[in-house]
Amino acid sequence: MFRYAEVLVDVANRRLDQSYHYLIPENLSLNIGMRVLVPLQNRKVQGLVVNMTEELPEGMEGITFKPILEIIDENSLVPPDLIELAHWLAQTTICSVAQSLHTVWPLLNGKIEDWIVLLVSIKDADVQTLQWLDPEAFRGLKVLNRARKKAISVKVFLKRAEISEGTLEKLIKQGWVRKETRFVTTGDYASPDPITRPGQNNRGKGYSSRTDRIYDLTEEQAAVVRDVLSILEEGSPQTVLLYGVTGSGKTDVYRELITQVLDQGGDAILLVPEISLTSQVARYFETQFGEQVIILHSGLRQSEKTKAWQDILAGHKRIVIGARSAVFAPLPHLRLIILDEEHDGAYKQDENPKYHARDVARKRMDQRKGVVLLGSATPSLEAYAAAQSGKIRMLTMTTRIGASVLPPVEIVDMRDELRQGNRSIFSLSLQQKLRERIDRGEQTMLFLNRRGYSTFVVCRECGYVVSCSNCDIALTYHTQGQAMRCHYCDHKELPPHTCPKCGSRYIRFFGQGTQRVEEEIQGLFPEVPMLRLDFDTTRSSEGHNRILDKFRRQEALVLVGTQMMAKGLDFPNVTLVGVIAADQTLNMPDFRARERTFQLLTQVAGRAGRSTKPGEVIIQTYSPQDSAVMRAAHHDFQGFFWEEIRYRRERKYPPYTHIIRVLLMHEKEDRVIKGANDLGACLRQGMQDPRFGNNEMDILGPAPAVLSRLRNQWRWQISIKGTRQDLLRSFLHQGVQRFFKNPASGGIILNIEVNPLTS
């Protein structure tokens, strides 16, 4: 019988973010992974039992320990490997363990509330007793009498009965009601019934053997499958990069690998970059694996997520397909995690903990001795560099499946178009080729990485740009609703008829968005059915699938879209892809801008000619000589990689260094500037420590963030750069501790991110 439990308290506060020891009452039967209610300072909080012991750690003798109050849930046991994962996640992303726990095990969600329980109903009380009650108290009893189970939270009770806290105390003293503390969860579930797997005595009801394959593998695909299975058989954690050109059949490789893993009694996770892609990808797998497939993503309601996790833990679901957060799925026999389009920035979480799904996948496979498979036609420079240096393995697929070949790409210099008098957003070449496709009944995809009609509204007299009142960003004009909108905080306002600054009537819309492209296509080809795929047209849960299904059924000949269009789409009748403006991503203030441009152009170009009909691609640009554009036009990833990696090495950018960025935010600009300068001084003070000063660390800033104001918060940033991530984390932690002892830190919000993907 253990006497003490080590409990990790669920408090998102760095000062209290640790485990504490509590006495285990004799009437409680605890297990590691249980949620419990414990006292902390002057309140009651949720905690997670992470260890139990008979003997206390050294130095704790003679301390009086408080007892655990109660078990919140006996059935929802957090697996030990996920508890370990939460600690690792907190350490590597520099956030609280409580935040990490809620990310790793979202079923912890809940809150502690004071509830009122009715002890004597009005019907059972005699008339004389009721006469002692004032009207307010009597009203409160009537509310409680009508409540389900004759109990209600204090907050709801006071509001619904419209009574004071003094009256509530009076009811408690007179014995009408009792106040008690309850832990209210957002979704509990029953303990699952585990099933057996191949290799055990029986195959349980959640297991089904291989379904007949509905695809044929090429020699390249079969070789990749054999190699990955051989790596899995080694029984050691491995990361494998699958570099396969667009259309080489990576999805079929994933299906065959998952088939083999399931046959061997294992489970698998397949990650895709965005929620909108999950159902489309899941269709391929549900055809073969049926009800063993489940979709997981952050858009699920809590009840849906609870049911999904119950089915996963019970072994009824063996394949999880989902976006970033699905990497935490608690599959009991997890052996393989696949990241499709591994280069995509959507795999990085924007909120604490700011994890990258690739890093979490590698940690989970370290725990399970499994394989992480990274698939992409345009791998991230970090992944490809790791493969080149031998840190991870690499497999390649260099040819498209079937009769399709990579499409030829034409680069159009839009400066020449202007000199020839063409003021349209479409080059003459694109207009001609688009007309040819329409005449032949073939389909075209037009890519522009901006939604809306115009990217900004500007006065031609004084240069005033209409900006968001909450953010340091120009408003985008949308014809739908005839309004200007901020794409960061969703602030909306009507466009002005005259300049708010100088009063001029010459205020105009500039730039171009997907709505503008759609309108101009309709002007050129009024009879041609077309569709638009961007954030505005896919706000509903089924908007994305509805548009793509229509295009797949060839109800439209032209699809205009943003980068949603660049990922994993396969339409046999698409023979032309047009990139309206390649420069929009190229000129971003970010050292990764050229990498993103190359990836986007290559991925979009890969949508053309994926069947027997040959395809063509037109890239319109004002920078035709830029190497990212030229390399993408020639499908030359290796050439781009060696050129870009040389640039990164010379300037000490990742993967040759690590960067930790601290974003400081406050609603007052002077406060955030002072705070940023004080944090910079605290960090520089730490450079005097020989552990840090001798390790080639650089402090960059303080400086205004790229978006200096967002959602009414002024933003400054400081970055530290170095070769050893563990030293950078330790250095920053000490600097931040010194900063918070300074009065200038009051009210300042710190947002810390390890290896950010954007500037």
404 domain-assigned: no
205 domain-assigned: no
Q: Are 290 and 208 in contact (CB under 8 A)?
A: yes
Give the residue from 143, 166, 185 where a domain finishes.
185
At 206 the pLDDT is: 40
Which residue in the block uniquely carries the two structure tokens 């003490």?
4
**Does the pLDDT of residue 290 top 70, yes or no?**
yes
| 3-class DSSP assignment, residue 667 | coil
**Does the pLDDT of residue 228 top 90, yes or no?**
yes
Domain that holds residue 685: 658-754
736 domain-assigned: yes
Check whether residue 273 and residue 159 sit in a common domain.
no
At 213 the pLDDT is: 56
Write the pLDDT tens digit of every residue in 636-659.
999 999 999 999 999 888 999 999
- Report how far residue 329's alpha carbon sits from residue 425's, in angstroms, rounded to the nearest whole number: 46
Check whether residue 437 and residue 570 sit in a common domain.
yes
- Report how far residue 70's alpha carbon sits from residue 182's, in angstroms, rounded to the nearest whole number: 10
Nearby residues of 140 by Cβ (< 8 Å), 6 or more positions away: 157, 161, 163, 167, 168, 171
Among 401-405, 570-574, 636-640, where is mean pLDDT lowest? 401-405
At 682 the pLDDT is: 92
Mean pLDDT of 728-751: 88
Write the pLDDT tens digit of every residue in 115-165.
788 877 666 555 455 556 677 877 787 777 777 566 778 888 888 888 888
Write the pLDDT tens digit of every residue in 156-194.
888 888 888 888 888 888 778 888 766 565 544 434 444
Among 30-34, 299-303, 341-345, 682-686, where is mean pLDDT lowest? 299-303
Task: Please count the structural domains in the chain.
Answer: 6
**Does the pLDDT of residue 277 top 60, yes or no?**
yes
Write the pLDDT tens digit of every residue in 8-60.
887 766 555 677 889 999 888 888 888 888 898 888 888 888 888 887 777 77
Q: 471, 469, 411, 475: which is closest to 633 by C-alpha?
A: 411
At 13 the pLDDT is: 61
Give the residue from 90, 109, 128 where a domain finishes.
109
At 428 the pLDDT is: 94
At 459 the pLDDT is: 74
Which residue in the block uniquely carries the two structure tokens 């390249």?
220
- Per-residue confidence at 299, pLDDT binned at 50, 70, 90? confident
Q: Are 473 and 707 in contact (CB under 8 A)?
A: yes
CATH number, position 345: 3.40.50.300
State the angle between helix axes of 97-104 and 80-93 in degrees (0 to 180), rounded to the nearest 10: 130
The 10 Å Cβ neighbour count of residue 589 is 8
**Does the pLDDT of residue 568 top 80, yes or no?**
no
Q: Which two tokens stand for residue 66?
A: 């408080």
At 453 the pLDDT is: 43
Written as one letter, the residue type at 275 is: I
Q: Which two tokens stand for residue 636?
A: 């030359």
193 domain-assigned: no
DSSP annotation of 122 reads: G
Check whether residue 447 and residue 485 sit in a common domain.
no
Q: For the chain, what is the mean pLDDT?
A: 83
At 385 the pLDDT is: 96
**Does the pLDDT of residue 207 top 60, yes or no?**
no
Mean pLDDT of 288-298: 88
Check whether residue 557 and residue 576 sit in a common domain.
yes
| Strand order across the 319-322 sheet | 293-296, 319-322, 267-271, 334-340, 371-376, 238-244, 393-397
Check whether residue 282 and residue 299 sit in a common domain.
yes
208 domain-assigned: no
Among 71-75, 452-456, 703-707, where is mean pLDDT lowest? 452-456
Q: 85, 116, 114: which is closest to 101 by C-alpha?
A: 85
Check whether residue 447 and residue 468 sit in a common domain.
no
E strand residue ranges, 598-691 = 616-621, 658-666
At 149 the pLDDT is: 61
- Report how far residue 45's alpha carbon sits from residue 183's, in angstroms, rounded to the nearest whole number: 9
Q: Are 184 and 152 in contact (CB under 8 A)?
A: no
Check whether residue 299 and residue 345 sit in a common domain.
yes
> How many residues does this entry show for the chain?
759
Check whether residue 290 and residue 432 sit in a common domain.
no
Check whether residue 561 and residue 619 sit in a common domain.
yes
Mean pLDDT of 746-755: 89
Give the residue from 109, 133, 151 where a domain finishes.
109
Check whether residue 442 and residue 461 sit in a common domain.
no
Write the pLDDT tens digit of every residue in 257-267.
999 999 999 99
- Per-residue confidence at 202, pLDDT binned at 50, 70, 90? very low
Higher pLDDT, 71 or 261: 261
As a whole number of Å, the CA-based R_g of the chain is: 30
At 188 the pLDDT is: 41
The 10 Å Cβ neighbour count of residue 139 is 15
Percent of the chain at pLDDT exceeding 70:
85
Q: Are 134 and 168 in contact (CB under 8 A)?
A: no
194 domain-assigned: no
Q: Which residues pair with 294 in a beta bridge?
A: 320
Q: Are 414 and 621 in contact (CB under 8 A)?
A: yes
- Report how far residue 308's alpha carbon sits from residue 306's, in angstroms, rounded to the nearest whole number: 5
Q: Are 707 and 668 in contact (CB under 8 A)?
A: no
Check whether residue 308 and residue 389 sit in a common domain.
yes
Mean pLDDT of 427-432: 94
Check whether residue 620 and residue 712 sit in a common domain.
no
759 domain-assigned: no
Among 57-66, 263-272, 396-405, 665-674, where is mean pLDDT lowest? 57-66
State the angle between helix axes of 154-161 and 165-173 in degrees (0 to 180), rounded to the nearest 10: 110
